[in-house]
């Protein structure tokens, strides 16, 4: 009889640990998703200043800058928790346009020699890297939760308590996967 | 030509001319000094060879067959004899230590002149950073610096020191407990400015497989969480802990991880660990051998080999900046 109780206690402890681990993984994923949001907010804050400064030099790139501004507003209005795929899509587009902007900036030597502009571009680069890092962290947490939800026995507990993977992987667009050499700007 | 603008290959190839014109004349003067200290050493050793057996004989001779009262009265004489033996042994080591100090103080600053703008100090430690904050060196009680130099290479400020850390531990010998200083780290510490800004701390430790538990016990990793990175090769070689998961990935990009693996391969015989904090990179390279030794009391100064070896060791430290591309502010 005692052996049965011990066996039951062990099973209960294992189930509890699996439950705790699942909840932790889900919370970590949520935390990493908000981490992306924080980094994106930094980018949204930086773009208006950058565009205002660049407007003085890059008159021929007006349409590109307008598109960036428009994409920024659209992306800002999408809540990550409501529609993560849409948020990723818009921010991917914004990343691409910002890369185009960096490349176009190459053609404006006056702007390249402006220290304030250089600092702003450097800040933008740092923010972009932080976004990339936040996305990598998010993706690794998606994988962890995905494995836990799909692999037995934690999959059983996940079903019982209704935990499912409802957040997508962040995948870079094909154009964004092509490397862009922005270092030329800083030479 | 500033060292800031010379790459490793240029530094290596140009050294021969510098050696012939600047270092060799000094080495010729140093050779007389070496011979003088070698003479002192031989005299001290000869004295030791004669005196130590005599003293030991005296101790044994006066103890055997002596009564308890006589033994008590001779305890002072015994202590004096042991003291004398210690002095003789120390006298043997003194010429080696003095020669090392004098020769290094002359040659190292001259050697570092080749890199322009580098300063050398003997027996100094990296004081601008609290080593405990780096979390790379385990718990220690004693710290001793050997060589220290600082300057700028490829526009990156760099501080290098060779140091030894010891921990006072209770050990039992012949069933008697006593404290002994156990070496916990012997190697080179390097402090570099990073090309990125960050506020948290990320520590990259060598992966020792199942022995990782012990390395964690011996260090203070409070407030740091394990970071799982996407590069499986990197994960095999290193274990990463950070106060900020996103920042750790911001610093350790795939390109940077690749460079760190390259560095690991370059120093494969040695243990190499990293700590990123205050926008700086602190590297602990555990070598367990004496580095930057351009002279030896027992080897002629006219042989270039030792100087060249020390020189290449300095260059290999600078190569870290090249391998990690810390001179490029591109954020990769």
Q: What is the pLDDT of residue A5?
A: 92
Inter-chain contact A35–B245, Cβ cutoff 8 Å?
Answer: yes
pLDDT in tens, A99-149: 888 888 888 887 777 888 888 888 888 888 888 888 888 988 899 899 999
Given A125, A137, A182, which is nearest B245 (Cβ)? A137
Residue A99 with chain B: CB contacts under 8 Å: none
Inter-chain contact A133–B246, Cβ cutoff 8 Å?
Answer: yes
The residue with greater pLDDT, B275 or A172, is B275
Q: How confident is the model at residue A181 (pLDDT cuts 50, 70, 90)?
A: very low
Given B228, B253, B330, which is nearest A183 (Cβ)? B330
Chain A residue whose CA is closest to B245? A137
Q: What is the pLDDT of residue B130?
A: 79
Q: How many CB pairs under 8 A join A and B?
A: 41
* Start-end of H helices in chain B: 8-18, 24-63, 68-113, 131-134, 212-217, 232-237, 245-251, 254-266, 305-323
Mark which residues 247-266 of B lie under 8 Å from A by CB: 247-250, 253
Q: How confident is the model at residue A13 (pLDDT cuts 50, 70, 90)?
A: very high
Decide if A92 touches B, using CB distance below 8 A: no
Q: What is the pLDDT of residue B216?
A: 66
Residue A170 with chain B: CB contacts under 8 Å: none
Q: What is the pLDDT of residue B6?
A: 64
Question: Which domains are seen in chain A, by residue range?
Answer: 17-186 (1.20.1440.20)
Inter-chain contact B230–A186, Cβ cutoff 8 Å?
Answer: no
Chain A residue whose CA is closest to B250? A133
Inter-chain contact B331–A137, Cβ cutoff 8 Å?
Answer: no
Q: What is the pLDDT of residue A21?
A: 92
Q: How confident is the model at residue A182 (pLDDT cuts 50, 70, 90)?
A: very low
d(CA B241, CA B250) in angstroms, rounded, equals 14
Q: What is the pLDDT of residue A177?
A: 46
Decide if A137 touches B, using CB distance below 8 A: yes
Residue B329 with chain A: CB contacts under 8 Å: 122, 186
Element holding B205 (H helix, E strand)? strand B202-206
Which is nearest to B154 in space by CA: B332, B289, B331, B324? B324
pLDDT in tens, chain B (332 residues): 344 456 777 777 778 888 888 899 999 888 999 999 999 999 989 988 888 888 888 777 766 555 666 656 566 777 777 888 888 888 888 999 999 999 988 999 998 888 878 899 998 898 767 788 888 888 888 899 999 999 998 888 999 999 999 998 888 877 788 888 888 889 999 999 887 888 899 999 988 776 666 666 677 788 898 888 877 788 888 899 999 999 999 888 888 888 888 887 777 667 889 999 988 999 998 887 788 889 999 999 888 889 988 888 888 888 888 888 777 654 44
Inter-chain contact A133–B250, Cβ cutoff 8 Å?
Answer: yes
Mark which residues 176-235 of B lie under 8 Å from A by CB: 196-197, 228, 230
If you average pLDDT over every residue of chain A, what do you get? 83
Mark which residues 15-54 of A lie under 8 Å from B by CB: 32, 35, 39
Distances in Å between the Cα of B229 and the Cα atoms of A145, B234, B262 are 16, 8, 17
**Taking a C-beta distance cutoff of 8 angstroms, is the pair B203, B275 a contact?**
yes
Q: What is the pLDDT of residue B64?
A: 59
Q: What is the pLDDT of residue A173?
A: 57
Which is nearest to B189 in space by CA: B302, B291, B48, B52? B291
User: Which tokens belong to B127?
Assistant: 């004081």
Decide if A134 touches B, using CB distance below 8 A: yes
Residue A122 with chain B: CB contacts under 8 Å: 329
d(CA A124, CA A90) in angstroms, rounded, equals 17
Residue with tokens 């220690």: B140
Given B247, B250, B329, which is nearest A186 (Cβ)? B329
The 3-state DSSP class for residue A170 equals coil
| Interface with B, mutate which of A33, A123, A136 (most B CBs under 10 A) | A136
Q: What is the pLDDT of residue B33?
A: 92
d(CA B247, CA B67) in angstroms, rounded, equals 75
Rounded (5°) CA angle B199-B203-B209? 155
**Taking a C-beta distance cutoff of 8 angstroms, is the pair A101, A117 a contact?**
no
Q: How confident is the model at residue A186 (pLDDT cuts 50, 70, 90)?
A: very low
Mark which residues 140-159 of A lie under 8 Å from B by CB: 140
Whether ipTM tops 0.95, in short, is no
Given B197, B246, B328, which is nearest A126 (Cβ)? B197
d(CA A141, CA A136) in angstroms, rounded, equals 9
- Domain residue ranges of chain B, discontinuous segments joined by +: 3-197+279-323
Residue with tokens 């051998």: B289
Chain A residue whose CA is closest to B252? A133
């Amino acid at each position: 009889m005692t052996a049965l109780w011990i066996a039951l206690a062990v099973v209960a402890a294992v189930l509890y640990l699996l439950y705790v681990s699942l909840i932790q993984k889900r919370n970590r994923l949520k935390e990493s998703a908000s981490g992306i949001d924080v980094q994106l907010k930094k980018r949204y804050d930086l773009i208006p200043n950058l565009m205002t400064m660049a407007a003085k030099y890059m008159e021929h790139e007006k349409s590109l800058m307008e598109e960036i501004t428009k994409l920024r507003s659209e992306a800002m209005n999408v809540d990550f928790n409501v529609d993560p795929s849409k948020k990723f899509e818009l921010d991917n587009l914004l990343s691409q346009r910002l890369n185009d902007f960096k490349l176009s900036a190459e053609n404006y030597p006056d702007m390249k020699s402006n220290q304030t502009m250089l600092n702003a571009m450097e800040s933008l680069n740092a923010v972009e890297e932080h976004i990339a890092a936040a996305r990598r962290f998010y993706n690794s947490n998606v994988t962890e939760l995905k494995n836990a939800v799909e692999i037995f026995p934690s999959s059983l507990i996940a079903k019982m308590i209704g935990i499912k993977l409802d957040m997508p992987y962040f995948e870079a667009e094909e154009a964004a996967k092509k490397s862009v050499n922005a270092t030329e700007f800083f030479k | 030509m500033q060292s800031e603008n010379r790459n490793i290959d240029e530094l290596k190839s140009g050294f021969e001319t510098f050696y012939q014109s600047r270092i060799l004349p000094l080495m010729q003067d140093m050779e007389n000094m070496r011979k003088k200290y070698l003479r002192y050493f031989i005299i001290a050793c000869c004295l030791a060879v004669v005196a130590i057996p005599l003293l030991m004989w005296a101790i044994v001779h006066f103890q055997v067959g002596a009564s308890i009262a006589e033994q008590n009265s001779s305890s002072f004489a015994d202590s004096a004899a042991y003291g004398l033996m210690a002095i003789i042994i120390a006298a043997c080591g003194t010429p080696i230590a003095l020669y090392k100090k004098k020769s290094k103080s002359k040659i190292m600053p001259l050697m570092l002149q080749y890199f322009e703008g580098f300063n050398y100090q003997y027996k100094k430690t990296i004081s601008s950073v609290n080593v405990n904050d780096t979390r790379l060196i385990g718990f220690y009680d004693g710290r001793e610096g050997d060589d220290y130099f600082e300057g700028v290479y490829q526009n990156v400020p760099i501080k290098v020191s060779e140091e030894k850390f010891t921990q006072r531990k209770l050990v039992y010998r012949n069933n008697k407990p006593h404290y002994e200083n156990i070496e916990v780290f012997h190697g080179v510490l390097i402090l570099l400015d990073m090309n990125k800004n960050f506020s948290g701390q990320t520590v990259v430790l060598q992966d020792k497989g199942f022995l990782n538990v012990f390395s964690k016990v011996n260090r203070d990793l409070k407030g740091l969480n394990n970071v799982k990175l996407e590069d499986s090769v990197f994960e095999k070689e290193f274990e990463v802990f950070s106060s900020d998961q996103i920042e750790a990935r911001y610093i350790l990009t795939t390109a940077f991880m690749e460079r760190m693996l390259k560095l690991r391969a370059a120093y494969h015989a040695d243990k190499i660990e990293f700590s990123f904090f205050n926008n700086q990179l602190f590297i602990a390279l555990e070598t367990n051998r004496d580095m930057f030794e351009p002279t030896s009391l027992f080897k002629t100064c006219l042989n270039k080999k030792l100087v060249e070896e020390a020189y290449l060791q300095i260059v290999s430290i600078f190569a870290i900046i090249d391998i990690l591309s810390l001179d490029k502010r591109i954020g990769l």
